[in-house]
Amino acid sequence: MRSCRGLLMVVLLPLQLHGQNEPSAILGEEDVSTFSIIAYDPDTEELGIGIQSRAFRAGAIVSWAEAGVGAVATQASANQLYKQRAMELLKEGHSPEGAVEIMTGEDPGRDQRQVAVIDVEGRIGVHTGADRIARPDQYAGHIVGSNYSVQGNTLAGRWVLTEMARVYEETEGEMAERLLASLEAGEAVGGDVRGMQAGSILVVRPIDGNRTTDRWVDIRVDDADDPYAELRRLLDMSLSGREADRAAALLEGGRVAEAIEVLEAAIRMNPRRDNWMFTLAEWHAEAGEDREALNTLRRAIRQNPQWKAEARGSSVLSRFADLDEFQQMTRDEP
């Protein structure tokens, strides 16, 4: 029995030394070595966090944000108590720099931590623990810019952060798009030296009369060979609703051709929205584009047979009622 126990220890020890996202031997924390960006947009009042890591479910561990208050990224030997503690301190009137100073001052594991906090004035506090540079070929540090900060550890070099900062500043559009572009730029010049596995994009904004949550974009990839491709797919799905709304506004304004083009783009972003396909079929029919209308209707029905009955009852599509093609695609199965 004693020899078996010894063998088990020999087998497991290398896993403990080299595993990803493992508890720290000293602190009992999940070691989420990673790189991230936190940001605030004074025009939209959005707060955002983007992260990528060679650690399982890193986004669930690293990111937290509250509209009207601030955002925090806690990584390396991640102290998840920092999330709510940072929000409490910001609400009490502390600056992000002061909040980080208080949190790390209370934490005996501070030298193993990396944390960044931003508030709704664009002020930033960052701490990179003295012990986060594990090996000579791994860089740990942070760069603070105007209304954003990039930070990371186990990086190929400081240039990962400088490229993330440059691309975030130069990219236009939605904050979520800018965050993802920044992460992709960091990866392109070396990123996390251990590779890729997980990532997330979180954007919050103040609740308005049409919403009941401050989560504007909230997507996460826990485990993937290429988390960037999956983040892009999920982000497209998250943003597609805004494109559909824009298409409806264009149609209401009489700009039918533009409305059709924008709704087609929204469907490419989120191809599971069969209700948009049915709407697009009706728009094509109204525009006199019969072939496009029938092809789009077929796609909608293929995804969801409920559109058969809807098509038969549609005043817009009723002019196809005598066509064999229309009758066949809308006929209920026996």
- Domain assignment present for residue 158? The answer is yes
The pLDDT confidence band at residue 7, using thresholds 50, 70 and 90, is very low
Residue 294: what pLDDT?
A: 98
Asked if 151 and 245 sit in the same domain, the reply is: no
**Taking 50 as the threshold, does the pLDDT of residue 8 lie above it?**
no
Residue 30: what pLDDT?
A: 66
Asked if 76 and 206 sit in the same domain, the reply is: yes
Asked if 77 and 215 sit in the same domain, the reply is: yes
Residue 130: what pLDDT?
A: 84
The whole-chain average pLDDT of the chain stands at 90
281-308 pLDDT tens trace? 999 999 999 999 999 999 999 999 999 9
Asked if 279 and 145 sit in the same domain, the reply is: no
- Domain assignment present for residue 43? The answer is yes
Residue 5: what pLDDT?
A: 40
Percentage, residues of the chain above pLDDT 90 = 84
**Taking 60 as the threshold, does the pLDDT of residue 147 lie above it?**
yes
- Domain assignment present for residue 6? The answer is no
**256, exposed or middle or buried, with CB in 10 Å at 0-12, 13-18, 19+?**
middle
Asked if 76 and 205 sit in the same domain, the reply is: yes
Distance CA 329, CA 334 (A): 13
Asked if 172 and 309 sit in the same domain, the reply is: no
Residue 137: what pLDDT?
A: 78
Question: Span 143-153, mean pLDDT?
Answer: 97
- Domain assignment present for residue 201? The answer is yes
112-137 pLDDT tens trace? 999 999 999 999 999 999 876 556 77
Asked if 258 and 125 sit in the same domain, the reply is: no
- Domain assignment present for residue 235? The answer is no
Q: What are phi and psi of 70, to 5 degrees?
A: 175, -175
Question: Span 259-282, mean pLDDT?
Answer: 97
Residue 29: what pLDDT?
A: 55
- Domain assignment present for residue 233? The answer is no
Residue 300: what pLDDT?
A: 98
Host domain of residue 305: 241-330
Asked if 266 and 214 sit in the same domain, the reply is: no
Question: Span 242-253, mean pLDDT?
Answer: 97
Residue 99: what pLDDT?
A: 98
Q: What are phi and psi of 19, to 5 degrees?
A: -70, 160
Asked if 204 and 257 sit in the same domain, the reply is: no
Residue 31: what pLDDT?
A: 75
Distance CA 76, CA 69 (A): 24
Give the distance, in angstroms, between the CA of residue 167 and the centroid of all CA atoms in the same chain. 17
Q: What is the CATH number of the domain that holds 95?
A: 3.60.20.10
Edge-to-edge strands, sheet with 139-145 = 139-145, 148-155, 34-41, 46-53, 198-204, 215-221
Asked if 90 and 208 sit in the same domain, the reply is: yes
Asked if 78 and 198 sit in the same domain, the reply is: yes
Minimum mean pLDDT among 19-28, 190-199, 252-261, 322-331: which range?
19-28
> For residue 207, what are the contacts with CB-CB under 8 A and spacing of at least 6?
67, 213, 214
Asked if 215 and 257 sit in the same domain, the reply is: no
Q: Model-level pTM greater than 0.75?
A: yes
- Domain assignment present for residue 11? The answer is no
Minimal CA–CA distance to 51: which of 166, 126, 150? 150
- Domain assignment present for residue 232? The answer is no
End-to-end CA distance of the chain: 67
How many domains are contained in the chain? 2
Give the domain-ending residue among 174, 194, 225.
Answer: 225
Q: What is the CATH number of the domain that holds 316?
A: 1.25.40.10
**Taking 80 as the threshold, does the pLDDT of residue 89 lie above it?**
yes
